[in-house]
C-alpha cells in the first residue's frame, strides 16, 4: 500500500513538473515584457535613472540595442564620443544605429564640428531636412558655394525651418544669395499658410527698415475685409503693399467672392497688373477648393502668372468639373516635371487629348501608366481597352526563404516590438529593414508577417514588389467569413467592404485613429452607439473593437449611407468625411464619378475614395466577386437639387 501511494505521488509530481516549469517560464516572460515596457516608458519620460534601473540584466534581450540607444539618446549631448562610436560600430546597418547617427549629426552640426559631421554623414540612410541643411553648411565651410544653389529648396518649405536650415537661410542672406525678393516670396508662402510665428522670424532677413509694421500685419491677417475697405497709402513701399496682398489672400481663404469683389474695387485698382494676376490665382485657388463654379474664371484672370503645383492642380480640377478640356491641359502644362509624372495628371491629360480628338496622343499618355496597380493605372488600362486583372502567378515563398526572413535581426526586433504593443517603433524598424529587399525577400517577409497575424505589414510589404508579386498578400482578406456573412446580411458587395476596410485599418483589430475611430472599420464611438441603437444590438464602448461587433456595426452603417446617397462613390466619401459633405461635393449637373472623386476638397478623403474603389476591383477579381470595370463602378454622380431630401440624423 505504501509503495503504491509512493508510486502515485511520483507520477503526480512527474506530471506537475512540466506544468510548473511552463508556468515559471511564462511568469519570467511576462516579467521581461513588463521590464521592457517600463524601460520604454522611462525613455519617453526622459528619465535616465529609471531607464538604467529597468535595463539592468537585459543585455541578452532581442531589444537590447533599443535599451542602449535610449540610454545614449537621453544624454547624447554629454556622451563620450567613444561610446557613440562603439554603438554605431556594434549595431552597424541597423535601424537604431541610423537613428543615433542622425541624432548625433544634428549635435555635430550645432557644434559646427564639420570634419566629424562629414565623416559620419556618409553611412546615413535617413533623409532629414535639418541634416541636409547642415551638410550644405559643411560644404560652404570648405568653399563649395554650389551648395547655395542646391539649398534653394528650403525657401519653398511652408512652415518653420528646423535649426540647421534657419542657420543656412541666414548664411544665404548674408552672402547676398537671397535678396529681399526671395525673402518676400518665402514670407508670402508662410503668411498664406498661416505660419505667423515663422513669418515674424523670417522678417529678420529683410534689410533694416523694410519689415512691415506690426499693426498693419495684425489688421491684414485678422480683419482683412475691414482692412481692404480702407487700405493704407504708401503702396510704393514693399512692406505696405505686401500687407495689402496678405489681406486679399486671407479674405480669399474665408470668402473668395468677397475677395474678388474687393479686387475689382478701389483696393485692387491701386495694385500693379502683376499683383492683381497673383491675387486672381489665389482667389481662383480658394474658390476651386470650395468647389465654387467661379473658380475657373478667376484662375483664367491670373493669366500666365507663376503658380504652385497645388494651385495648378486645383485649376485642373475646376476645369474638369466645368468639362473645359483645354483648360485642363493649360493647368497641367506648367506643372513641375515631377507633378506631371503623377498618374493623376497623366490620365487626365490623356483624357483631355482624347476629348479634343487627339486619339494617338491620348493613347500615349494612357500607356505610360496603364500597368500601374492603382486608381488611374486601372482607368488608363480600361481606356486602352484592357481588362486589368491581378498579375499571375502568385509567388509563394519557400520554407527556406521564410526561415531566412525569421532570422533577420531587424525583423526579429520588429516582431518583438509589435508583440509588446510598441507599434510605432515596430513599423519604423520594419520599414528600415525591408527598404532594400528584392521581390522574393519581400514576399518571404510578407509571409512571415502573415504567420504572426500582423496584417498591415503583410499588405504594405507585398505592395512594394516591382516584378514578382502575390496579390493575395497585397489584398489580404482575414476574417473573411465574418465579412461575407455581414455583406450578405445587409445586401452590399463584399469586395467593396473589404476594399474599404483595407483602406481604413489594414485589418488591424485594435486600430485607433487620432480622431478616436476604432477597430477594423474605424467606427467613431457616437456612430457605433447610434447604429447599435437602430439595430437593437446590446452595445458597450469596450465591444467596438471586437471583430464581430465592429463588422456588424460598420457594414450596417455603410448600408445605411449607401441607401441614403444611392451611389458607392458617394457612400465611400461619406464613410470617411460624413454624408453632409459627400452631398455638398456634388455639382449642379451630373458628374463623372472619377471627376467627383478627383475634386473632393479634402486630400485624405480624395485619396481614400480612389483607393477604396480601386481596392474593390482587385478584391472582386481575387475572391469571386463581380469583376466590374472601375470606370463602370465610378459611374455618374447625380446632380444636386434644391428638392433633395435627406436623413439629417445620419451621422
| Residues tagged active-site | 504
Q: Write b or e for each residue in 331-363: b if 16 or more Cβ atoms lie within 10 A of its Cβ, otherwise e.
A: bbebbeeebbebbbbbbbbbbbbbeeeeeeebb
Take residue 239 and report the three cell numbers written for it: 512692406
Take residue 443 and report the three cell numbers written for it: 514576399
Residue 637 in 3-state DSSP? strand
Bridge partners, 523 (sequence order) = 518
**Long-range own/partner contacts, residues 329-338 (CB < 8 A, 24 or more apart):** 329/353, 331/299, 334/304, 334/306, 334/307, 335/309, 336/309, 338/309
- What is residue 638's DSSP assignment? P
In 14-72, at which residue ranges do the beta strands (DSSP E only) sit? none
Nearest to 565 by CA among 644, 465, 506: 644
C-alpha radius of gyration, the chain, whole number: 30
Which residues make Cβ contacts (< 8 Å) with residue 608, sequence separation at least 6? 503, 572, 573, 576
Which residues make Cβ contacts (< 8 Å) with residue 205, sequence separation at least 6? 169, 170, 173, 178, 183
Which residues make Cβ contacts (< 8 Å) with residue 139, sequence separation at least 6? 146, 147
Query: Contact, 353 vs 371, CB < 8 A?
Result: no
Neighbours of 604 (CB within 10 A): 10
Query: Contact, 569 vs 611, CB < 8 A?
Result: no
SS (HEC) of 517-531: CECCCCECHHHHHHH
In angstroms, rounded to a whole number, what is the distance separating the alpha carbons of residues 612 and 189?
33
Beta pairing class for 591-592 and 636-637: antiparallel
Take residue 327 and report the three cell numbers written for it: 483648360
Q: Write b or e for each residue in 24-62: b if 16 or more Cβ atoms lie within 10 A of its Cβ, otherwise e.
A: eeeeeeeeeeebbeebbebbeeeeeeebeebbeebeebe
In angstroms, rounded to a whole number, what is the distance separating the alpha carbons of residues 598 and 577?
15
Amino acid at each position: 500500500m505504501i509503495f503504491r501511494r509512493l508510486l502515485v505521488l511520483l507520477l503526480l509530481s512527474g506530471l506537475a513538473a512540466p506544468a510548473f516549469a511552463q508556468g515559471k517560464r511564462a511568469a519570467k516572460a511576462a516579467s521581461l515584457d513588463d521590464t521592457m515596457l517600463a524601460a520604454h516608458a522611462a525613455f519617453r519620460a526622459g528619465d535616465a535613472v529609471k531607464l538604467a534601473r529597468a535595463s539592468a540584466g537585459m543585455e541578452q534581450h532581442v531589444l537590447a540595442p533599443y535599451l542602449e540607444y535610449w540610454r545614449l539618446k537621453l544624454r547624447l549631448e554629454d556622451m563620450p564620443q567613444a561610446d557613440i562610436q562603439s554603438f554605431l560600430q556594434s549595431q552597424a546597418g541597423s535601424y537604431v544605429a541610423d537613428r543615433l547617427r542622425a541624432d548625433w549629426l544634428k549635435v555635430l552640426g550645432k557644434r559646427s564640428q564639420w570634419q566629424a559631421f562629414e565623416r559620419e554623414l556618409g553611412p546615413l540612410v535617413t533623409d532629414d531636412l535639418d541634416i541636409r541643411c547642415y551638410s550644405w553648411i559643411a560644404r560652404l565651410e570648405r568653399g563649395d558655394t554650389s551648395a547655395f544653389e542646391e539649398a534653394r529648396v528650403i525657401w519653398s518649405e511652408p512652415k518653420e525651418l528646423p535649426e540647421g536650415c534657419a542657420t543656412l537661410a541666414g548664411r544665404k542672406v548674408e552672402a547676398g544669395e537671397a535678396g529681399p525678393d526671395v525673402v518676400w516670396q518665402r514670407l508670402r508662402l508662410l503668411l498664406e499658410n498661416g505660419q505667423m510665428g515663422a513669418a515674424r522670424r523670417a522678417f529678420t532677413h529683410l534689410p533694416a527698415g523694410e519689415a512691415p509694421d506690426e499693426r498693419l500685419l495684425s489688421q491684414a491677417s485678422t480683419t482683412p475685409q475691414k482692412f481692404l475697405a480702407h487700405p493704407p497709402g504708401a503702396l510704393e513701399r514693399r512692406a505696405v503693399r505686401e500687407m495689402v496682398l496678405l489681406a486679399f489672400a486671407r479674405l480669399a481663404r474665408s470668402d473668395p467672392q468677397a475677395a474678388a469683389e474687393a479686387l475689382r474695387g478701389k483696393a485692387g485698382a491701386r495694385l500693379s497688373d502683376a499683383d492683381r494676376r497673383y491675387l486672381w490665382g489665389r482667389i481662383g485657388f480658394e474658390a476651386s477648393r470650395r468647389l465654387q463654379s467661379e473658380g475657373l474664371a478667376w484662375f483664367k484672370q491670373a493669366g500666365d502668372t507663376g503658380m504652385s503645383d497645388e494651385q495648378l492642380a486645383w485649376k485642373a480640377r475646376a476645369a474638369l468639373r466645368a468639362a473645359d478640356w483645354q483648360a485642363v491641359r493649360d493647368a497641367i502644362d506648367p506643372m513641375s516635371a515631377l507633378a506631371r509624372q503623377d498618374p493623376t495628371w497623366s490620365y487626365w491629360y490623356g483624357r483631355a487629348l482624347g476629348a479634343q480628338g487627339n486619339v494617338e496622343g491620348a493613347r500615349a499618355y494612357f500607356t505610360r501608366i496603364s500597368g500601374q496597380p492603382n486608381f488611374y493605372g486601372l482607368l488608363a488600362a480600361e481606356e486602352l481597352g484592357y481588362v486589368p486583372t491581378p498579375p499571375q502567378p502568385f509567388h509563394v515563398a519557400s520554407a527556406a526563404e521564410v526561415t531566412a526572413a525569421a532570422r533577420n535581426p531587424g525583423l526579429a526586433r520588429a516582431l518583438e516590438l509589435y508583440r509588446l504593443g510598441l507599434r510605432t517603433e515596430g513599423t519604423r524598424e520594419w520599414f528600415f529593414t525591408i527598404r532594400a529587399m528584392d521581390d522574393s525577400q519581400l514576399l518571404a517577409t510578407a509571409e512571415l508577417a502573415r504567420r504572426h497575424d500582423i496584417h498591415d505589414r503583410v499588405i504594405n510589404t507585398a505592395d512594394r514588389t516591382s516584378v514578382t508579386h502575390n496579390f493575395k498578400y497585397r489584398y489580404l482578406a482575414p476574417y473573411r467569413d465574418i465579412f461575407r456573412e455581414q455583406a450578405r446580411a445587409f445586401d452590399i458587395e463584399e469586395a467593396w467592404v473589404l476594399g474599404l476596410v483595407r483602406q481604413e485599418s489594414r485589418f488591424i483589430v485594435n486600430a485607433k485613429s487620432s480622431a478616436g475611430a476604432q477597430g477594423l472599420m474605424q467606427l467613431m464611438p457616437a456612430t457605433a452607439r447610434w447604429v447599435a441603437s437602430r439595430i437593437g444590438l446590446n452595445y458597450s464602448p469596450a465591444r467596438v473593437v471586437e471583430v464581430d461587433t465592429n463588422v456588424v456595426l460598420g457594414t450596417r452603417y455603410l448600408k445605411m449611407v449607401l441607401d441614403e446617397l444611392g451611389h458607392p462613390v458617394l457612400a465611400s466619401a461619406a464613410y470617411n468625411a460624413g454624408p453632409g459633405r459627400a452631398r455638398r461635393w456634388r455639382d449642379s449637373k451630373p458628374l463623372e464619378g472619377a471627376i467627383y472623386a478627383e475634386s473632393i476638397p479634402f486630400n485624405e478623403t480624395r485619396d481614400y475614395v480612389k483607393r477604396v474603389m480601386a481596392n474593390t476591383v482587385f478584391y472582386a477579381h481575387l475572391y469571386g466577386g463581380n469583376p466590374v470595370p472601375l470606370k463602370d463602378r465610378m459611374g455618374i454622380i447625380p446632380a444636386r437639387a434644391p428638392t433633395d431630401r435627406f436623413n439629417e440624423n445620419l451621422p
